[in-house]
Amino acid sequence: MRLNAPKTMRLLLHILTAQEFSQRGLWSEYNKRGSIAIGQVNKVVRWLEGNAFVERRRKGYVLTNPTGLVRAMSLFRSMRELRAFSVSVDTSREEVLGMLPSEAILCLGTSVERYGSYFRSPETSFYAVDCEALEAEFSRLSEGLTKLSCYRIDFLEPDGPASDRSMVSFERQVDSLISRKIDGMRYTSPVQTVLDMFCDGKAHYTKELLKDLWEVDL
């Protein structure tokens, strides 16, 4: 099973977030923001059960191996491949944040820093819809010590014609499953943050989040 397919990945994010679920409830919750067939939900859940990531219980299923599932997902997804550009500029992080469009979602270490108590990220990382436009904008700044990295969004289903697909999908699908709005900025949700860090080979920085989310010690 291709775990980085947009529908599959979003479904797995639902499961990692809910932890306990039924197939019908999972299908209904998914279709509030996306579109998936009940047969596809059944296929994914059966694969998860067959690989001991979930267990069947009397009223549905329960997630039993969240870190194992996240590790499996990370085998199909690389943040390095999603990185659109990195640049170091002669301006403060606060000024960089002020230059980001409203749909930008802060991610990776920037989100870990927001949720945790000790980690301090050496760069500002974010997802963006139009990475090319942002690269052109930041490239006009003088080179400096503030490092930032922009990543392409890969967790949206195709929706509508190619000309407006990105923004249509973004406004319809990005919710608390993917991001949280804190102090006027969007950050990846705790579950999405953990996934991204595993996909970047930096799982060891997520100890606090793993404990908070699933009571797991890494």
Q: What is the per-residue pLDDT across 74-127, written as a single tens digit (0 to 9) for each?
A: 999 999 999 999 999 999 999 999 999 988 999 999 999 999 877 888 899 999
Q: What's the number of CA atoms in the CB half-sphere (13 Å) around residue 11?
A: 28
The CA distance from 55 to 45, in Å, is 10
Domain membership of residue 25 (yes or no) is: yes
Task: Provide the pLDDT confidence category of residue 6 given band limits of 50, 70 and 90.
Answer: confident
Report pLDDT for 120.
Answer: 86
Q: Within this chain, do residues 87 and 180 fall inside the same structural domain, yes or no?
A: yes
Whether 53 and 143 map to the same domain: the answer is no
Q: Which of 74, 94, 117 is the last residue of a domain?
A: 74
Domain membership of residue 148 as a residue range: 79-214
- How many domains, in total, are found in the chain? 2
Q: Which pLDDT value is given to residue 151? A: 97
> Are 93 and 126 found together in one domain?
yes
What confidence tens digit (pLDDT) does each residue in 150-206 have?
A: 999 887 765 443 444 444 455 556 667 788 999 999 999 999 999 999 999 999 999
Whether 67 and 117 map to the same domain: the answer is no
What is the rounded average pLDDT of the residues 5-30? 92
Are 173 and 197 part of one and the same domain?
Answer: yes
Instruction: Specify whether 146 is located in the same domain as 172.
Output: yes
Q: Which of 128-142, 148-162, 204-218 has the lowest mean pLDDT?
A: 148-162
The lowest-confidence range among 19-23, 29-33, 37-41, 91-95 is 29-33
Distance CA 144, CA 154 (A): 29
Domain shared by 153 and 192, yes or no: yes
Region 201-215 average pLDDT: 94
Same structural domain, 145 and 205:
yes
pTM of the shown model: 0.90
Biggest distance spanned by C-alpha atoms of the chain: 61
Residues 46, 94 share a domain: no
Does residue 153 form part of some domain? yes
Q: Is residue 1 part of a domain?
A: no
Tell me, yes or no, whether 172 and 197 share the same domain. yes
Domain annotation covers residue 100 = yes
Is 21 among the domain residues? yes
> Do 29 and 112 fall into the same domain?
no
Query: How far is the C-alpha of 198 from the C-alpha of 70, rounded, in Å?
Result: 7
Q: Which CATH number belongs to the domain containing residue 68 in this structure?
A: 1.10.10.10
Domain end point (choices 24, 56, 74): 74
